[in-house]
Amino acid sequence: MKISVITVSFNCAATIRQTIDSVLAQDYPNLEYIIVDGASKDGTVEILKSYGNKIRFISERDKGIYDALNKGVKMATGDVVGTIGGDDFFPDNGVISAVAARFIQSGADAVYGDIQFINPGDDTKIVRYWSAGEYRVENWLKGWMPPHLSFYLKKALIDKHGYYFTDFTCAGDYELMLRILYKFRASATYLPKVLMTMRNGGTSTASLKHRYRANMEDRRAWRMNGLTPKWYTLWWKPLSKVVQLFKAK
């Protein structure tokens, strides 16, 4: 099984080396790494060039994160596709091996796991822990979703059911997972392991204004797929993140 990991970057010179090194240190042999950079001007591109043929990358202007992700997915040649942010890193060298083993063991279409969030200035300080839990399709109605950066999906399903919608600004990942897992009932399985370390304070954990925009996009994701949530579904989704603060290890 070949696994493609995609990073979307823009002006990530301060953190991108840690991201890349954590991918290249994975002990899984059949791993493809693709970076889609948005024409960074802070030295990111020079860092990418320094890795030679260890990575595949392009650097050009894009129409946002989901446009860049689509470019990466279309470049990917793996059986499975996953993502890692330009300021995030794998917590250990066995993440991809564990993901591959879970795919083989379960026969599922998607594998996901847990995420830990750290303080931007202290890699050892875990401030939030996202324990994703076992997959039950009805949990979508309770505001549940898999963490996108711990989510690995068979590429054939993206090719079949469509890519990220580029007119979303922050909930395009939610829409894609809702569409493929809930609407089209692709199978998924939970891997009880931390698969990603993220720096707190990124796009998905930003201001209340951003959270409001994300909630509006979440609602649109259900409508555009012809799906009807419960009255509480999209209220519980952001509130559930508060619980994660008390799960920090």
DSSP state of 43: S
How many domains does the chain fold into? 1
Question: Taking a C-beta distance cutoff of 8 angstroms, is the pair 192, 106 a contact?
Answer: no
- Domain span at residue 117? 3-247
* pLDDT 10s digits, 68-100: 999 999 999 999 999 999 999 999 999 999 999
Mean pLDDT, rounded, of the chain: 93
Contact 109, 44 (CB under 8 A): no
Give the tens place of pLDDT for each residue, 104-145: 999 999 999 999 999 888 888 899 999 999 999 999 999 999
Higher pLDDT, 39 or 123: 39
Q: Over 60: is that where the pLDDT of 58 sits? A: yes
What pLDDT shows up at residue 235?
87
CA separation for the pair 127, 176 (Å, rounded): 28
Residue 248 binned pLDDT confidence (cut-offs 50, 70, 90): low
Mean pLDDT calculated for residue range 50-59:
96
Strands (E), the chain: 3-9, 31-37, 56-59, 80-83, 110-119, 122-130, 151-154, 188-199
Q: What is the pLDDT of residues 190-238, one digit of tens each?
A: 999 999 999 986 544 455 677 788 899 999 999 999 999 999 998 888 7
Q: Report the candidate in 121, 118, 110, 187 with the shortest Cα–Cα distance to residue 147.
A: 110
Q: Can you give the pLDDT at residue 183?
A: 98
Can you give the CATH number for the domain in which 67 is found? 3.90.550.10
